[in-house]
């Protein structure tokens, strides 16, 4: 079967240009490589940790699925599914939670961040507002990965700890019950590939500084015009390396376009013009995706069927692992 590469996308919020260049396009390119089996899924049960808004969870699942397909994911080449359509994952999450030390979960970043906020606010109960979902988040993520015995897990730097915890949990299970799980490796996207948002910090839903992928042309231009720049006048040479407009341009441009733009910066291009050039390039790249997206988003039935077909493939793979897991722990038929 070759190497199994698996990654999940939490279905909260709308995908932005950072997601496109940092996750969506690289995953699609990787899925076309020979010898790779790709598992890509909508982490909809994860979204309940962050959001208790049913409409947001539902719509986001639908929009994210449409985004991946619009950007070129071929569902016949990969296993593309909704986490909630694969009950084996939830079953595994329980079994794994029974070999996971509570102390390990106490050290998880997301949980620690929540207790730190309570500490800083002087709240006597450090666990105030912490749900069991948040606390168990790394176990569910381990189940997502181990249900398929994935070899590689491409994720952002912030998720690295979860893959380390997955390895700890898998090793603990193997130690108690015998070798069932493969220990997966994280594949971390390089810091160099991090796209800045309109305020210059990392583009992220959490910073409210994103440029969504599927804005219409007018809204895209408006978002690009909002990118923060310094106050240098046209005619004054500018440093491309420290400039957000240039960093975004670089993510979409060819080598010769990048070189040309560097010369224009040296010549003191005005910010208005630099932004117009950036807009034309992004618009050219995004347009075909946007057109496809507007078609797919109308096809609820197509999206549903694609995901159901994906879940059939996913369940086939996960049920093989689950059979081994159940046997290993002694939950099996009497004969």
* Contact residues for ligand TRP, defined by CB under 6 A: 6-8, 10, 43, 46, 141, 144-145, 153, 155, 159
**Given the complex with ligand TRP, which of 92 and 155 has the nearer CB atom?**
155
Q: Is 202 in the site for ligand ADP (CB under 6 A)?
A: yes
Identify whether the C-beta of residue 82 lies closer than 8 Å to the C-beta of residue 311. yes
CA–CA separation, 70 and 290 (whole Å): 7
Select the binding partner of residue 206 from ligand TRP, ligand ADP, none (C-beta < 5 to 8 A, by kind).
Answer: ligand ADP
Beta bridge partners of 79: 39
Using the rule CB under 6 A, give the single segment among 76-84, 111-119, 203-211, 252-260 that binds ligand ADP: 203-211
CA distance 220 to 200: 17
- Footprint on residues 164-193 left by ligand ADP (CB under 6 A): 189, 193
Compute CA distances 114 → 13, 37, 133, 332, whole Å. 21, 36, 13, 39
∠ CA 82-30-16, rounded to 5°: 60
Residue number of the CB closest to ligand ADP reads 22
Total number of residues shown for the chain: 335
With contacts defined by CB under 6 A, name the span among 14-22, 76-84, 280-288, 317-325 that binds ligand ADP: 14-22
**Among residues 194 and 328, whose Cβ is nearest to ligand ADP?**
194
Contact letters (x/-) for ligand ADP, 206-235, by CB under 6 A? x-----------------------------
3-class DSSP assignment, residue 42: strand
Assess 198 for contact with ligand ADP (CB under 6 A).
no
What CA–CA distance (Å, rounded) separates 285 from 267?
A: 26
Measured distance CA(331)–CA(335) in Å, rounded: 12
Closest distance to ligand TRP from the beta carbon of 281 (Å):
28
Which region, judged by CB under 6 A, interacts with ligand ADP, from 16-24, 111-119, 239-247, 293-301?
16-24
Question: Cβ closer to ligand ADP: 209 or 311?
Answer: 209
189 or 229, CB closer to ligand TRP?
A: 189
Q: Which long-range contacts (CB under 8 A, 24 or more apart) does 103-109 make?
A: 104/138, 104/165, 104/168, 104/169, 105/135, 105/136, 105/138, 105/139, 108/135, 108/137, 108/138, 108/161, 108/162, 108/165, 109/158, 109/161
| C-beta closer to ligand ADP: residue 206 or 230 | 206
CA atoms in the 13 A half-sphere facing the CB of 276: 5
Question: Is position 156 an interface residue for ligand ADP (rule: CB under 6 A)?
Answer: yes
Q: Tell me which of ligand TRP, ligand ADP, none is bound by residue 46, counting a contact when its beta carbon lies within the kind-specific cut-off of 5 to 8 angstroms.
A: ligand TRP
What, of ligand ADP, ligand TRP, none, does residue 141 touch, CB below 5 to 8 Å by kind? ligand TRP
86 vs 153, beta carbon nearer ligand TRP? 153
195 forms part of the interface with ligand ADP (CB under 6 A): yes
Q: Is 18 in the site for ligand ADP (CB under 6 A)?
A: yes
Out of 19, 149, 166, 306, name the contact with ligand ADP by CB under 6 A.
19
**Locus of tokens 């603990």:** 172
Indicate whether 8 belongs to the interface with ligand ADP (CB under 6 A). Answer: no
Helix-, strand-, coil-residue percentages of the chain, each rounded to 5: 60, 10, 30
Contact 146, 181 (CB under 8 A): yes
Give the binding site for ligand ADP (CB under 6 A).
10, 18-19, 21-23, 155-156, 189, 193-195, 202-206
């Amino acid at each position: 079967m070759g190497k199994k590469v698996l990654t999940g996308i939490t279905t909260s919020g709308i995908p932005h240009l950072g997601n496109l260049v940092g996750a969506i396009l690289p995953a699609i390119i990787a899925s076309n490589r020979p010898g790779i089996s790709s598992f890509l899924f909508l982490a909809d049960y994860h979204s309940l940790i962050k959001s208790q808004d049913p409409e947001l969870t539902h719509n986001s699942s639908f929009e994210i699925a449409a985004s991946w397909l619009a950007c070129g994911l071929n569902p016949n080449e990969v296993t593309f599914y909704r986490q909630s359509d694969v009950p084996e994952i939830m079953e595994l999450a329980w079994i794994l939670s029974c070999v996971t030390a509570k102390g390990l979960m106490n050290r998880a970043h997301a949980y620690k961040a929540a207790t730190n906020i309570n500490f800083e606010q002087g709240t006597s109960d450090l666990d105030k507002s912490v749900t069991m979902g948040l606390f168990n988040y790394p176990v569910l993520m381990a189940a997502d990965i181990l249900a398929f015995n994935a070899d590689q897990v491409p994720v952002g730097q912030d998720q690295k700890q979860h893959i380390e915890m997955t390895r700890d949990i898998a090793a603990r299970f193997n130690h108690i019950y015998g070798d069932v799980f493969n220990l997966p490796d994280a594949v971390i996207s390089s810091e160099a590939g991090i796209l800045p948002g309109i305020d210059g910090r990392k583009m992220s839903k959490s910073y409210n500084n994103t440029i969504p992928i599927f804005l219409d042309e007018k809204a895209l231009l408006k978002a690009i015009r909002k990118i923060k720049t310094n106050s240098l006048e046209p005619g004054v040479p500018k440093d491309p390396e420290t400039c957000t407009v240039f960093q975004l341009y670089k993510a979409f441009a060819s080598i010769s376009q990048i070189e040309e733009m560097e010369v224009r910066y040296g010549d003191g291009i005005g910010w208005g013009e630099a932004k117009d050039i950036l807009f034309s390039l992004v618009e050219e790249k995004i347009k075909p995706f946007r057109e496809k997206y507007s078609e797919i988003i109308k096809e609820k039935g197509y999206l549903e069927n694609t995901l159901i077909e994906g879940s059939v493939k996913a369940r086939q793979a996960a049920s093989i692992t689950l059979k081994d897991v159940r046997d290993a722990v002694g939950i099996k038929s009497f004969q």
